[in-house]
Amino acid sequence: MVDLFGNLSLGLGVALTAYNVLFCFLGVLLGTLIGVLPGVGPVATIAMLLPITISFPPATAMIMLAGIYYGAQYGGSTTAILMNMPGEPSSSVTAIDGYKMARKGRAGPALATAALGSFFAGSVATLVIALFAPPLARYALKFGPPEYFALMVLGLICAVALAHGSVIKALSMVVLGLLFGLVGSDLFSGMNRFTFGYRELSDGVNFAAVAVGIFGIAEILRNLESEKTRDVLIRKVTGLMPTREDLKRIIAPVIRGTAIGSLLGVLPGGGAILAAFAAYAIEKKISRHPEEFGEGAIEGVAAPESANNAGAQTSFIPLLTLGVPANPVMAVMMGAMILQGIIPGPAVITRNPELFWGVIASMWVGNVMLVILNLPLIGLWVRLLTIPYYVLFPAIIAFAAIGSYSISSNAFDLYALALFGGLGYLLVRLGCEPAPFLLGFVLGPQMEEHLRRALIISRGDLSVFLTRPLSATLLAAAAIVLLIVFVPQIARKRDTVFQDELT
């Protein structure tokens, strides 16, 4: 406990410097903005900002990027409540009852509930990270190449299991991402592979071009295809504070949502989204008035908003302790750390304690900023929502192109951006989720490295993955998860659970 307080003091000392407070503020403000505006998510935004953050100190860069991520979770609830148009996928559950509350003239209490629940959940989740990340990191130091390979296999299989839609399509996306991740120079021989004679590919495909193209450009194309007039329900929100009865009704859902989100957030794939749906489903099942859900129940706003914000922040645990991203945003954060010369994993806590504890402490600072900022700025966010999308998308595309080009000042990266933008749009049209693709792309090179190192150590004996207890356990868990999602009854339940909760 003494160590915990000492480490948190170190983190607060880093997070509360004027420079880092400024960039934490910019991060949460920008995160709220992109959460409010449908069409650009935190993945694309963080990827576009990678070139800018290279010149920052590592702790400052990660503090700002982290602020963008959890700030987007706050902002997504605004459009969900006022427009029935979730700014973030995890806010789609909030829209069910939040929009109905707004239509009944209770947009203020709905927005306040989302902000207060998010603040409480974010603060508790940050404490969870501080408590459980260090011992997990110490245990992870015992991992060898076989264990890391098995852990990454488990992570990708979990991402497949938690992906929406067809399991086969999700598996295909993982494999496609792995293949693109292998482009470039061979780690051990230095020979080029899959470059097709293009020297620009000798260092691999530009990570920013992949992330921005698959998530940003593809989302812009999809929105342009189905653009409709955005109807803001309320242009001036009044009566923000919940009543005493409202507060009594939201306390327990916020606590339960925080617990669910803190637990599920560490799962690879979509822990925050899954947590929001699970929290809503539980509240609906245990409520004395389940008929109110879907008609404006305030518990239906409190629980999922708490869950998705807690899940968003505990998703940092596997990245900072194991070097395994839990979702596409964490994959981009992982890329940011690598660009800073920091290898994500258990060594971060000992080699870069200022970064590790500074990021954790900054989450408390950022959550305070968000709860102070969000409610007074509701009027600004409402006005922004009236901007036509055809005005926004040229600026977004220009920013994406500048960001991708500036990393290596190579025009080839712009062609890659266009290619992956088109590929992302095609994948969406085919019903394939891009998140497993990006996770496969990021983890592919590391999986290959650990696989080959394990085989070198064992002199080519594949049984090394089964004779080491932890590696065998992780691979067995991956096989069980994969088998479970193919069980007919579970597969049918998996395909319908999200649709059932949204109806």
DSSP for 226-238?
T------S-SS--
* Token pair recorded at residue 116: 């207060």
| 488: confidence class by pLDDT, cuts 50, 70, 90 | low
Does 365 have pLDDT greater than 60? yes
Does 202 have pLDDT greater than 60? yes
Average pLDDT over residues 156-167: 75
* Token pair recorded at residue 372: 């102070």
Distance (Å, whole) CA 141 – CA 136: 9
Q: What share of the chain is helix, strand, coil (3-state, %, to 5)?
A: 75, 0, 25
Strand pairing partners for 193?
A: 184
| 498: confidence class by pLDDT, cuts 50, 70, 90 | very low
Among 172-186, 271-285, 433-447, the range with the most confident prediction by mean pLDDT is 172-186
Does 502 have pLDDT greater than 50? no
| 257: confidence class by pLDDT, cuts 50, 70, 90 | very high
| pTM (two decimals) | 0.76
How far separated are the first and last CA of the chain, in Å rounded?
46
Does 33 have pLDDT greater than 60? yes
Q: Are 310 and 124 in contact (CB under 8 A)?
A: yes
Strand pairing partners for 185?
A: 192
More confident residue, 231 or 331: 331
| 349: confidence class by pLDDT, cuts 50, 70, 90 | confident
Residue matched to tokens 């579970």 = 490
Does 17 have pLDDT greater than 90? yes
Does 191 have pLDDT greater than 60? yes
Q: Where are the beta strands (DSSP E) in 151-209?
A: 184-185, 192-193
Among 217-221, 303-307, 433-437, the range with the most confident prediction by mean pLDDT is 303-307
Residue matched to tokens 């964490």 = 330
Average pLDDT over residues 33-41: 71
pLDDT of 493: 55
Distance (Å, whole) CA 67 – CA 72: 8
Pick from 55, 22, 498: nearest CA to 277: 498
Residue matched to tokens 């999986």 = 447
pLDDT of 501: 46
pLDDT of 483: 82
**Displacement of CA 414 from its chain's centroid (Å):** 25
pLDDT of 18: 93
CA atoms within 13 A on the CB side of 165: 16
Q: What is the largest CA-CA distance in the chain?
A: 70
Q: Are 46 and 1 in contact (CB under 8 A)?
A: no
Average pLDDT over residues 441-462: 86
Percentage above 70 pLDDT, the chain = 87
The C-alpha R_g of the chain, in whole angstroms, comes to: 22
Helix (H, G, I), strand (E, B) or coil at 193: strand
Mean pLDDT of the chain: 81
